[in-house]
Structure 1
Amino acid sequence: MDGLCLSEIGGCEDGRIGRGQLEDGGDDTQYKSKNLEAERRRRLKLSQRLLTLRSLVPKITNMNLATILDDAATYIMELQNNVTALSDQLLETEALCEDGPKALVDEIDAAQDMEANGIKPDVQVTSIDENKLWIKIIIPKRRNRFTKLLQTLSICGLELTDTSVTTFKGTMLISSCIRGPPGEMLKASQTKDLLQEIFKGI
């Protein structure tokens, strides 16, 4: 009877289980265990990222994966429409301001005015969290400069929020939060270098 049982389990004609079969069984169990652990880690990461996405999107109608992604896509499209609308309003406002002769003089003499008032161009970037920075920028006022900044940042995948823009005697002061793409870490030093390069071109 013992021989029969062993034969059925091990598949050996003489009823003995070979050493190689035992080792193979152990490897298979270990392989399955690694796969299960990898799958658990993958599901945990996915769950964490979905929670992060849920926290960024104000309106989530359901907690299943398809709904979260659909609501996030809708929210992103709304933001893009808002950016377009605000950019159009800004262009109209700047166009109205540029019609006045004083605005044109301020633009030409912006750097001289800043220097005369003891104001120096400056870019400050402070980290708030991994995906959000606080920026403070002092630059000479130029035609459409802020609009070009928004457009360039959008191309780079960056977004300004809680923005304040003040102009005085040829100087433009921009205070804002800058947010990167979800899941991407923003570094203050790299963002500062990027902003300085952008201002050279606009």
Structure 2
Amino acid sequence: MLENIFLLLCLAPALAAQTCEPNAPDAYKVRLSIKTALGEQAYKWDENEKFLFQAALAYAMRNHIQEQNFSVSNILTCNETERVSFWFMVTSPLDMSLIKKEEVEKAVRKSRNRINNAFLLSDATLEFIGILPTLAAPADPDTPPWLIVFGVVLGVILASIVVLFASSVVQNNRKKKKGIDEEENDEERRVKIVENGAANEGVYNTTFTADEGFTQM
């Protein structure tokens, strides 16, 4: 009895692998453009890289369905080509039944960046045909946006106060200077008037002197 159970467990992955076919309802196609992405530093796709892909997918499935302990034996691949494309399906570690395509898609999208990083590729060079690339999560700034806006508004207000204060000081200085200039001009005019008056007092009027001389005769 125990031997039959052990034999069944050993044959289960092989039997499940027969269901991995291109365009199967629960299958996905993967295409890797390693040379395009890495150029001269491109690595060769071999069994080790294939194992890494299966391990990465198993991690993604564990991350999405945490109640099941997926392993590389649950990631079935088939129809592999030299241009590094193949199909894969995922089986349940509980009963070797196929995981629904929708659940596989959710798992891939959730761990897409981790899968890309494992192969030094991006969404454009590691393509899961039929699964849209995930958008990067928006960066969470260290400073809250409202605090940034408050700082900008406060800075504008302070700058306006400084400008108004500086302009008022400049206007006051101009008024003082203008008042000093007007006082100096008034003083100069008064001095000229006094000088002109003193000059007129010192002039001798010969007209009256001559008249007085003729009258005495």
Q: Name the structure with the higher strand share.
A: 1
Flag whether TM exceeds 0.5 (same fold).
no
TM-score if structure 2 supplies the norm length?
Answer: 0.23
Larger relative contact order (C-alpha < 8 A, sep ≥ 6)? 2
When Rg is computed on C-alpha atoms for both structures, the one with the higher figure is 2
TM-score if structure 1 supplies the norm length?
Answer: 0.25
